[in-house]
Amino acid sequence: MRVACGVDLVAVGRVARLLESGREGLLHAAWTEAERAACQGRPERLAARWAAKEATLKALGVGVDRVPMADVEVLTSDSGAPRLVLHGRAVLLADEQGLSGWAVSLSHDGDYAIAQVVALAED
């Protein structure tokens, strides 16, 4: 069994400035409707999900220019834990690498949000 992982740290202030700038197009391109609803406009929650998206791309071994950010969706399970749902290009890359069994952990405190993503692949 092979493990792929990624981690990312995001400054909450960068996301707050994005929200304040009124750049709605970027907000809709980066976060799905379900993510925006779950975050209720709170920059620390959006930043944690952005970190998870970037961490997922790192686990996939690609940069942010290869996959639309909305193709990596961070939802909340019934238990309250975050869970990843891949779409489009992200699904194709995961399938090519045999990655499955995704796990994600989010945290935010003060000025920063962090996420770690782990995926398993059968060899």
Q: What is the DSSP string of 45-66?
A: HHHHHHHHHHHHHHHHT--TTS
What pTM does this model have?
A: 0.93
pLDDT tens string 44-68: 999 999 999 999 999 999 988 889 9
* Residue 24 predicted with pLDDT over 80: no
Ordered by start, the domain boundaries in the chain are: 2-121
Q: What is the mean pLDDT of the chain?
A: 93
| Fold held by 2-121 | Ribosomal Protein L22; Chain A (3.90.470)
Four-point Cα dihedral 83, 90, 60, 52, nearest 10: -40
